[in-house]
Structure 1
Amino acid sequence: MSVRVVTYNLLVPKFAEKPGYYMKSRRKFLRIEYRWPLIQSQLKQEIQYHQNTIFCLQEVSRTLLPTLKAFFHQMNYIMIESLFGERYNDNMGVAIAVPVTMPLFYKNSIAVGDHIRSIIPSFKKDLFSLSTWQNALMYSVIDQSKPSSNSLWESVMSLNNALVCVGVHIHGRPLFIGTYHMPCLFQIPEIMVMHSSAVKDLMFQLAAGNPLILAGDFNLQPHDISYRAITERGYARHIKLPPVGNYTKNYPFNTRQLLRSAYHEKNGTEPNYTNFSTTRKTKNFCATLDYIFFSGNLIVNDVLQLPNYPTGESYPDRTHPSDHLMLAASFQLF
């Protein structure tokens, strides 16, 4: 009883083709007309060479959505998507594609900010200013000028990032699979801890004791407190988050249920990198941001081998259609 899970950040065409944004990438390699055939080839290989392959995709944009749907329909897949973004990012979101031959008994899309709001009953929105997540961006870790507790929590709950989750039967055994694209707010570690912990806890809640896999672009590195909070026993207890409004109640960390990383489990370490690019905002960025986490009665059979070091000056390039690498892991249910 095996299943293969692929996670891939496709890179929104509107971002890739923005003039001068990917400073070291040739314009030809940034166009979706060049990138899509390479992406399609990578996806096809995972279908052709492996059984029960499920795809977790990030930066699924409105522009590319019809092409993706047509591709997966041709490959006898069903796709469940949630586009939660804004006009400036082409309504980007996440999606899961499942073979039509695989019994699907559950599908849902949940905004994690709304979920956090729902589990803190003492939170009253009228106690807070109308601040949004943009206000929180004013916080700089360097000068330690933190936003107020109210502003921080309202920012967390205002983010629209959605978890897409499906439940499938593998030879009669239930398995829950989710994909998530974390907010890129690494300069505000409190928000990253809140969201990574909330999406982890939400997956355990949905799985209700069944095995689960959570894959995606988490915008956090293995040494970050967010990574450690969801993978290390007891670590979350040492994280102090600001109180909610005038109440002492805080986000209730689930410290008993933790996630394991498929690549770390199989190789003893995370990949050297999963993202490589030079943009106007980040120069020569090369780090691990993407993961396939899991929990429950699952054994990692193998993982897709990734390069140890990037080639070229920046992705996308001739052979890499995204600034992220595609990750994949095969699991055995026991």
Structure 2
Amino acid sequence: MAKLDAETARRAVVGLQEVSMSWAGPLHAYFAAKGYHFVVSLYGKPFNNYMGVGLAVPLDAYEVTTSDISRLSDTVKFPQVKKKDKDFGILNPVVNVLKMPVSIWRKLTDYRPPSDEWQTARGRFNSILYATLTCKKTNAKFGVCTYHMPCMFRTAADRRVMTIHAGIAAQYALNQSAGLPVVLMGDFNLKPGDAGHTLITTGDLDESHEAYPVMPEGYKGEPFNVKPAKKMESAYARVNGEEPNFTNNAQIKDDEPFIDTLDYIFVTDDIDVVDVLELPHRDDVKGPFP
């Protein structure tokens, strides 16, 4: 909590990711004591303590004029191909009987059949938070949004899932803000130059890119538009000319430490970025960190 004191002292709007159920209650009490309104949405599973995202707003500085909590994958209509049941004619009763033990085995073993990137992207429960704020001093209105992306990178299909979520997160922020300046901040699990990062910061992505989503086989509807209506820019890249050297320094078991930038504050071009917090270079710190 002490690390938040400097931010709350200067009445900053705070976006948090990986807010566990164990932390959600203490954070509510902490922010209430500081005169903040705290919105949280938990969506995880037991192994990560149902972690989610949070958004905290100082009520003496801003009026919360609108607020929204959504499961991001519910905010768009994904392309789907309806599977046709196979007809085995007079053997249908036999086939149905044979399906029963297979169905029981799947339930007992928690087996899940392979899915394409659209099914995977649609099946994610990650919540996204948005609020329209009105500054009590200037009456200026703007939007703030926070999100924690899935972490999928091992296969091309995984990377396409990441592109889908990056695109619809930016779309959501722009749609909710309805033309107002907007900030989209969070843990995006995207490195600078990854397809999702390029999509957000340019508003475009070459459709021949291996991480550009491919329409499901047999789909005959309108192509799904993953591109946001306009680009957003990293606040750090605007001020410093480049992204931070790293925001993540972690190690899983005996793997090599992972050190790179995954966290961003994206802004629309009508937001003036005055300054950013100075962050250390990876050579100047000893990690990994928890």
Instruction: Tell me which interval the TM-score lies in, with the shorter structure as reference length.
Output: 0.7 to 0.9
Code of the aligned partner of 1:179: T
Aligned equivalents of 2:175, 2:57: Cα separation in 1: 22
Is the CA contact (8 Å cut-off) linking 1:278 and 1:314 kept in structure 2? yes
- Please identify the structure whose Cα radius of gyration is greater: 2
Taking structure 1 as reference, are residues 209 and 296 closer, same or farther at Cα in structure 2, changes over 3 Å only? farther
Aligned equivalents of 1:181, 1:123: Cα separation in 2: 25
**1:157 corresponds to 2:122:** yes
Aligned equivalents of 1:281, 1:261: Cα separation in 2: 33
Is the CA contact (8 Å cut-off) linking 1:243 and 1:250 kept in structure 2? yes
- Of 185, 207, 214, the residue aligned with 1:242 is 214
Q: Which fold has the larger relative contact order, with Cα–Cα distance below 8 Å and residues 6 or more apart in sequence?
A: 1
Aligned equivalents of 2:279, 2:117: Cα separation in 1: 37
**1:123 corresponds to 2:80:** yes
**1:180 corresponds to 2:180:** no
- Per the TM alignment, residue 212 of structure 1 is displaced from its structure 2 partner at its CA by 0.2
Is the CA contact (8 Å cut-off) linking 1:210 and 1:296 kept in structure 2? no
**1:68 corresponds to 2:27:** yes
Cα deviation code 1:252-279 (max 9, x no counterpart):
1335401100000000000000011222
**1:200 corresponds to 2:170:** yes
- Per the TM alignment, residue 151 of structure 1 is displaced from its structure 2 partner at its CA by 2.6
Structure 2: unaligned runs, 5 residues or longer: 86-102
Equivalent in the alignment of 2:276: 303
List aligned pairs for 1:90-169, cutoff 5 A.
90-101=49-60, 102-116=62-76, 119-120=77-78, 123=80, 151-169=116-134
**1:81 corresponds to 2:46:** no
Equivalent in the alignment of 1:219: 189
- Per the TM alignment, residue 231 of structure 1 is displaced from its structure 2 partner at its CA by 0.9
Equivalent in the alignment of 1:41: 2
For 2:26, what is the secondary structure of its paired residue?
helix
List aligned pairs for 1:1-80, cutoff 5 A.
40-48=1-9, 50=10, 52-80=11-39
**So what's the TM-score if we normalise by structure 2?**
0.82
For 1:180, what is the secondary structure of its paired residue?
strand
RMSD: 2.4
Is the CA contact (8 Å cut-off) linking 1:262 and 1:300 kept in structure 2? yes
- Per the TM alignment, residue 164 of structure 1 is displaced from its structure 2 partner at its CA by 0.6
Equivalent in the alignment of 2:289: 315
- Per the TM alignment, residue 296 of structure 1 is displaced from its structure 2 partner at its CA by 4.0
Equivalent in the alignment of 2:247: 274
Equivalent in the alignment of 1:15: none
Aligned equivalents of 1:225, 1:292: Cα separation in 2: 17
Aligned equivalents of 1:96, 1:233: Cα separation in 2: 25
Is the CA contact (8 Å cut-off) linking 2:63 and 2:134 kept in structure 1? yes
Aligned equivalents of 1:258, 1:238: Cα separation in 2: 20
- Per the TM alignment, residue 244 of structure 1 is displaced from its structure 2 partner at its CA by 3.5
Taking structure 1 as reference, are residues 127 and 80 closer, same or farther at Cα in structure 2, changes over 3 Å only? farther
For 2:218, what is the secondary structure of its paired residue?
coil
Aligned equivalents of 1:62, 1:233: Cα separation in 2: 35
Aligned equivalents of 2:41, 2:254: Cα separation in 1: 27
Is the CA contact (8 Å cut-off) linking 1:84 and 1:161 kept in structure 2? yes
- Per the TM alignment, residue 196 of structure 1 is displaced from its structure 2 partner at its CA by 0.3
Q: Percent identity?
A: 28
Is the CA contact (8 Å cut-off) linking 2:147 and 2:187 kept in structure 1? yes
Is the CA contact (8 Å cut-off) linking 2:182 and 2:267 kept in structure 1? yes
Code of the aligned partner of 1:153: W
